[in-house]
Amino acid sequence: MKLFLSADIEGVAGVVSPLQGQPGNPEYERARQLMTEEVNAAIDGAFAAGASAVLVNDSHGPMTNLLPELLDARAELISGRPKPANMFCGLKEDYGGVFCLGYHAGAGGYGVLSHTTNSFAFHAVSLNGIACNEALLYGAYAGSLGVPVLLLSGCDRLAAECAPHFPSAQRVVVKQALGQRAARSVAPQRARQLLRSAAAAAIVGAGTVAPFVIPAPYHLVLDLTSVALADLAATIPVARRTAPRTIAFEASDMAAVIGWVNTVSALSALLR
């Protein structure tokens, strides 16, 4: 089976500070190496268990974090931005499953570096009444293509948020959140061992995992962090202002939902 792997950085073992996700400082250079090594561990476990191909999508910030020269030679890499479907760019119906590596809890929740897509823009994101972190949002996108999420890795709060919606996915906890910017983490070497074995188990059990589906039609609610940001988002003709800081969109497919989240996120740069 073909595996799609989306890689973020906030949920990587040893990462606790926003600086570790921001290019231009030494801590970022170390964190991106840790991120790449975790991705490699998951790739290795997936191939050991019979995966036929792995497509990796760099899903954090500039989306040029993973070090291509260190990537497992059997995988292919999508990097850069902007790109269609953003964190799940490249996913198609013929994939057998998705891994979400280095993910994190959603905006407004407990968890290491919790946010949803853009901490400057979003206070909360909900879809059809379900509070959505990135794993849920994109997991529902994958579900709309009939593809299940097989594995999630990050802090204990990510696992707790995802457990009710992805009950059969492997949930790899590499750190316990002690705050939004503090954690007790396993050693990176240990995290890679955990990921390798969970990846293998996820591939072996893939046939038993149901896709996560939020049924259409979609009612997307974006709670912005300021009234000014909501003023800005409200200039999108199909956006509906439902409260001073809240914008709603109606959509018939998950690609449009993902599109609106990322459109408002990109637009918010105007007010930074």
Identify the sign of the CA torsion 244, 246, 247, 248. negative
Which residue number, 40 or 59, has a Cβ lying nearer to Zn ion? 59
Between 40 and 117, CB nearer to Zn ion = 117
3-state secondary structure of 93: coil
| One-character DSSP codes across 7-73 | E-STTSTT--SGGGGSSSSHHHHHHHHHHHHHHHHHHHHHHHTT-SEEEEEE-STTS--S-GGGS-T
Handedness of CA 19, 23, 27, 31 (dihedral sign): positive
> Minimum distance from CB of 154 to Zn ion (Å)?
10
Is the four-CA dihedral 183, 189, 193, 196 of positive or negative sign? positive
Rounded Cα gap, residues 236 and 41, in angstroms: 42
Give the angle subtended at the CA of 236 by the CAs of 235 and 241, to the nearest 5°. Answer: 70
Residues making contact with Zn ion (CB under 5 A):
8, 10, 60
Q: Which is nearer to Zn ion, 35 or 251 (CB)?
A: 35
CB of residue 150 to Zn ion, shortest distance in Å: 20
Catalytic site residue 115? yes
Give the type of residue at 59: S
102 vs 148, which CB is nearer to Zn ion?
Answer: 102
CB of 18 to Zn ion, least distance (A): 10
Q: How many Cβ atoms from other residues are within 10 Å of residue 150's Cβ?
A: 28
> What tokens does 155 get?
């802090």
Which residue in 60, 104, 115, 165 is the catalytic one? 115
Nearer to Zn ion, 18 or 205 (CB): 18
Nearest to 202 by CA among 172, 163, 161: 172
The CA–CA distances, whole Å, from 171 to 28, 43, 106 equal 25, 16, 16
In angstroms, give the least distance from the CB of 7 to Zn ion.
9
Smaller CB separation from Zn ion, 10 or 58: 10
Q: What amino acid is encoded at 138 in this protein?
A: Y
- Closest contact distance (angstroms) between CB of 134 and Zn ion is 8
Q: How far is the CB of 162 from Zn ion (least distance, A)?
A: 16
Q: Minimal CB distance to Zn ion: which residue?
A: 60
Residues acting as catalytic residues? 115
